Structure 1
């Protein structure tokens, strides 16, 4: 458990699945994904997704020349009646 915690602290942005296989590859700990998850959860070391900031509603990018911004429409085409 101590080796898992130490390794996780050295790699703070790595998820538990990747940590599991990296530790296996480096012969540090041979543990299952669920065991690594449990140890990290109990130690409050799970890396969480950072939520993005809410949009202010204003569009701030102003292109100053051609081909600086592209848009596409991916909606389904309308069927003719």
Structure 2
């Protein structure tokens, strides 16, 4: 799948990026890859647990962004495959 995103930086600046990911990739996997290959973070970026990363979606008409779940529904602890 191909996604067009704006990467919001701590400084308040935003960079438009395009992400191509496998449809089976979790949101935390996509977020971790963005962090890992971001040329602006350089080698000084502090290591972060990739499972803790997520993405936020700014939806039209909504004042606050929606924080997306980190894991695929089938990967949630205590759930059967394919069931949330």
Structure of greater Rg? 1
Structure 1 length-normalised TM: 0.32
Would you tell me which structure has more helix in proportion to its own residues? 1
Would you tell me which structure has more strand in proportion to its own residues? 2
The structure, 1 or 2, with the larger RCO (C-alpha pairs under 8 Å, 6+ apart) is 1
